[in-house]
Amino acid sequence: MRRIVLTIICLVLAMSAPAQEKKILNGFDGGMMVHTGYLSGTLDAIGYQAKGAPMGIGGVIHLHLGDHFRIGTEGYMSTLRQRGNGSYLKYGWGGLLADYYTVLGRFQPYAGLTLGGGAMTTLLMFEEPASAWAPIDDTRYHKQGFMAIDPFVGCDFIVAGPMHLTLKVDYLCALSDAKLLPHGPRIYIGFLFYH
């Protein structure tokens, strides 16, 4: 207990020292992004091949550590429509991230990794309803959680001062039940605001 208290006191004193040459925390940024891409994979339990372009939205927030490192968190919702009849695979996922960035004029390339997880909900209808509110017998529903890592690369374009346009590509990799999770690259575009 004494070590924890001493560590906290040392950290507070170090962060409040008036004549520091370099700040540990160099601000923060955050914003929203929309995404699409291409996912594919087989749902082995029912022998169904899922594929297509997902559509989704989400957001990110970073704390800047020094001049080139950021840590933060992100979360997204992504829907992969199937069969043209209301069937879908829906992902909600997020986690903690770390990345490295550099500034080249008005461009700010970055690369990093998110560690986290989420859930996938699947609703597949294999026949068309005869009329409104008619029951559909051949329907499958499933929900499962998963842990995942998500490597990504991207680049900001500094529009004006604190406003950045960002473009990012990632590849969500499930660490558990990977067979049930269609995978592939996603591309994101959005705005980040720096402070």
Enter the pTM of the model.
Answer: 0.83
- What is the gyration radius of the CA atoms in the chain, in angstroms? 21
- The pLDDT value recorded for residue 177 is 61
- pLDDT value at residue 151: 96
How would CATH label the architecture of 25-194? Beta Barrel (2.40)
Q: With helix as H, strand as E and coil as C, how does 28-66 read?
A: EEEEEEEEEECEEEEECCCCEEEEECCEEEEEEEEEEEC
Give phi and psi for 31, each to the nearest 5.
Answer: 175, -170
**Domain boundary assignment for the chain:** 25-194
What 3-state DSSP class applies to 11? Answer: helix
Cβ-based neighbours of 38, under 8 Å, separated by 6 or more = 51, 52, 53, 184, 185
Per-residue pLDDT of the chain (195 residues; tens, 9 = 90+): 555 444 445 544 455 444 445 568 889 999 999 999 999 998 888 889 999 999 999 999 999 998 999 999 999 999 999 988 889 999 999 999 999 999 999 999 999 999 999 999 999 999 887 778 888 889 999 999 999 999 999 999 999 889 999 999 999 988 876 556 788 999 999 999 998
What confidence score (pLDDT) does residue 22 get?
Answer: 58
Q: Are 57 and 34 in contact (CB under 8 A)?
A: yes
For every residue of 138-183, DSSP letters joined together read SEEEEEEEEEEEEEEEEEEEEEETTEEEEEEEEE-EESSSGGGS-B
Quote the pLDDT of residue 2: 52
User: Tell me, what's the pLDDT at 181?
Assistant: 78
Per-residue pLDDT at 135: 85
* pLDDT at residue 24, as a whole number: 80
Residues pairing with 70 in the sheet: 64, 99
CA angle 55, 103, 22 (to 5 degrees): 120
